[in-house]
């Protein structure tokens, strides 16, 4: 695959230690990993294996104690908080397990927020288009508290894809949803991703989620245990 020859996310010897219960624990331990442009990668592992920490490092939400993190070739661990914020604004979209919609904003305003931030020319049109795409065209004026969990996550998807980020990071996107709702959200995610050619890294417990990815990284105690790729993903994507 030519795309994988030009990696968009590149981790080299990355470690992260954090204080826990009064001592330092290694959450990510010398991880080397590359994600190619347009690729989808699932990160799997038991609780505490370092999945979320790894995701935070890829997004510049956290800084490694050792090693390098590159986004589009740019070393990000030394960027200031302001530069990191701009990097996220321009390149990264997020989807979270707990949705993380802003409760004081309507669904449409939540989708508008990142669009306005990048000064998108037709922010309103794009927001409406995305809300329609996730099947919430009529619910834009509702506040998050007036929406169900699945609806909230669909709004979060619309928000994440709004500014057309080249990278989407997802943390247990179906973790708080029942399987039917989760499947609907995953379908939407795949659709939008395919339409935009977005690189996806998804942290999950859910085999159904993992099955849709091009590759699956298994973490254990902060280390890469094994990497799978191929058929399952192809089958899922194809189906």
Q: Are 93 and 160 in contact (CB under 8 A)?
A: yes
Instruction: Based on the shown chain and the rule CB under 8 A, indicate whether residue 109 belongs to the binding site for another protein.
Output: yes
Structure tokens at 1: 């695959």
Please tell me the total number of residues recorded for the chain in this structure: 239
Instruction: Based on the shown chain and the rule CB under 8 A, indicate whether residue 55 belongs to the binding site for another protein.
Output: yes
Instruction: Based on the shown chain and the rule CB under 8 A, indicate whether residue 154 belongs to the binding site for another protein.
Output: no
- Binding segment for another protein (CB under 8 A), chosen from 2-10, 49-57, 68-76, 213-221, is 49-57
Name the region of 21 (left: φ>0; alpha: ψ -120 to 50; beta: rest).
Answer: left
Q: How many residues bind another protein (CB under 8 A)?
A: 38
CA 2 and chain centroid, separation: 23
Among 119, 121, 138, 180, binds another protein (CB under 8 A): 119
Stretch 184-213 residues interacting with another protein (CB under 8 A): none
Instruction: Based on the shown chain and the rule CB under 8 A, indicate whether residue 113 belongs to the binding site for another protein.
Output: yes
Q: To the nearest whole angstrom, how small is the minimum distance from the Cβ of residue 16 to another protein?
A: 10
Q: Where are the beta strands (DSSP E) in 64-166?
A: 66-71, 74-75, 92-95
Instruction: Based on the shown chain and the rule CB under 8 A, indicate whether residue 90 belongs to the binding site for another protein.
Output: yes
Strands 66-71 and 7-20: antiparallel
Dist CA 135 CA 140 (whole Å): 10
Among 11, 41, 96, 185, binds another protein (CB under 8 A): 96
Instruction: Based on the shown chain and the rule CB under 8 A, indicate whether residue 59 belongs to the binding site for another protein.
Output: yes
- Binding segment for another protein (CB under 8 A), chosen from 1-9, 29-37, 57-65, 182-190, is 57-65
Query: What are the two backbone dihedrals, phi and then psi, of residue 194, each rounded to the nearest 5 degrees?
Result: -65, -40
DSSP state at residue 119: T
Q: Are 182 and 208 in contact (CB under 8 A)?
A: yes
> Can you give the binding site for another protein, defined by CB under 8 A?
18-19, 52-53, 55-56, 59, 61-62, 81-82, 85-86, 88-90, 92, 94, 96, 98-100, 102-105, 109, 113-114, 116-119, 145, 149, 159, 171, 176
């Amino acid at each position: 695959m030519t795309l994988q020859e030009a990696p968009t996310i590149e981790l080299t010897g990355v470690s992260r230690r954090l204080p826990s219960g009064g001592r330092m624990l290694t959450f990510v331990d010398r991880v080397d990993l590359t994600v190619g442009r347009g690729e989808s990668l699932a990160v799997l592992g038991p609780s505490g294996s370092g999945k979320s920490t790894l995701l935070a490092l890829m997004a510049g939400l956290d800084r490694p104690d050792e090693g390098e993190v590159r986004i589009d070739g740019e070393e990000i661990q030394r960027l200031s908080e302001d530069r990191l914020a701009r990097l996220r604004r321009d390149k990264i979209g997020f989807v979270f397990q707990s949705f993380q919609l802003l409760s004081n904003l309507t669904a449409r305003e939540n989708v508008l927020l990142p669009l306005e931030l990048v000064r998108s020319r037709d922010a309103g049109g794009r927001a409406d288009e995305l809300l329609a795409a996730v099947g919430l065209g009529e619910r834009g004026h509702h506040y998050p508290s007036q929406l169900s969990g699945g609806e909230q996550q669909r709004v979060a998807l619309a928000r994440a894809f709004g500014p057309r980020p080249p990278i989407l990071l997802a943390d247990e996107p179906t973790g708080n949803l029942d399987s039917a709702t989760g499947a609907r959200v995953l379908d939407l995610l795949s659709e939008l991703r395919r339409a935009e050619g977005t690189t996806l890294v998804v942290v999950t417990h859910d085999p159904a989620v993992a099955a849709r990815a091009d590759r699956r990284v298994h973490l254990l105690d902060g280390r890469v245990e094994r990497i799978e790729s191929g058929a399952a993903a192809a089958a899922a994507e194809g189906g």
